[in-house]
């Protein structure tokens, strides 16, 4: 049942106040791509690089979130939508707190990613398409999921028995089957520097 009689409570400290305190802007880097594309690996390396710049950043990882906040959700289209909605709301809170949030989720549906984009001011959402051919993702198969999906042990598996809708206008495309992790991280850091998020 939907909550009623709730009123937004304004605080005395604003997002801009927190950004000034942190000495940097805040935004969400939204990593989307197939399982095995390298989203989590890239996210943790970008977080580490931002740390070197003195940027307060935090990684929200798809598997990690399903251990807690979203542990009651499966992988049906409706559950995937709710998974992304919740992460969008959490990401929005992180941005409001003055932090960089790096969200690494398959997030296979454009509509769901657009929903998150619409939650934030235009300048605070950076969609990063972590692009990798499904053949390479299957060769990597770090969790053995593709093998299970191919024999029917996992249903609704993105790229095999469920769709992945590629981003049409991402801010960045990182092709992890064509460039190494160092170059990938450098491309992201260069982008956020050029856009004035960090100095």
Q: CATH no. for residue 64?
A: 3.40.50.300
Its domain, for residue 142, covers: 15-194
Residues 7/26/82/155 CA torsion (nearest 10 deg): -170
> What's the CA gap between 111 and 118, in Å, rounded?
10
Burial 115-150 (b: 16+ CB within 10 A, else e): ebbebbeeebbbbbbbbbebebbbebbeeebbeebe
Number of domains the chain is built from = 1
Q: Which two tokens stand for residue 64?
A: 């990690």
Question: Which pLDDT belongs to residue 1?
Answer: 64
Q: Is 91 annotated as a binding residue?
A: no
- Would you say residue 13 has pLDDT above 80? yes
Is 52 annotated to bind a ligand? Reply is no
Residue 199 confidence class, pLDDT cut points 50, 70, 90: confident
Residue 88 labeled ligand binder = no
Catalytic site residues? 107
Q: Is residue 199 part of a domain?
A: no
Domain presence at residue 82: yes
Domain membership of residue 152 (yes or no) is yes
| 85-101: pLDDT as tens digits | 999 999 999 999 999 99
User: Do the domain assignments include residue 9?
Assistant: no
Residue 10 lies in a domain: no
pLDDT given at position 171: 97
Is residue 3 a known part of a binding site?
no
Averaged pLDDT score across all residues of the chain: 92
For the entire predicted model, the pTM comes to 0.92
Residue 39 lies in a domain: yes
Pairing mode of beta strands 57-61, 100-104: parallel
Residue 8 lies in a domain: no
């Amino acid at each position: 049942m939907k909550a009623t009689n709730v009123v937004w409570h304004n605080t005395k400290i604003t997002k801009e106040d927190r950004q000034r305190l942190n000495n940097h802007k805040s935004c969400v880097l939204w990593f989307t791509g197939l399982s095995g594309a390298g989203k989590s690996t890239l996210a943790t390396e970008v977080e580490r690089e931002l740390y070197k710049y003195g940027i307060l950043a935090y990684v929200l990882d798809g598997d990690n979130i399903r251990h807690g906040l979203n542990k009651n959700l499966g992988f049906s289209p409706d559950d995937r939508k709710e998974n992304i909605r919740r992460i969008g709301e959490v990401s929005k809170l992180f941005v409001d707190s003055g932090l960089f949030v790096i969200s690494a989720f398959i997030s296979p549906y454009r509509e769901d990613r657009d929903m998150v984009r619409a939650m934030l001011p235009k300048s605070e959402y950076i969609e990063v398409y972590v692009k990798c051919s499904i053949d390479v993702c299957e060769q990597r198969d770090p969790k053995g999921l593709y093998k299970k999906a191919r024999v029917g042990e996992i249903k609704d598996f993105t790229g095999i028995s469920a769709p992945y809708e590629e981003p049409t206008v991402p801010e960045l495309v990182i092709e992890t089957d064509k460039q190494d992790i160092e170059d990938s991280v450098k491309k992201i850091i260069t982008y956020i520097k050029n856009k004035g998020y960090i100095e």
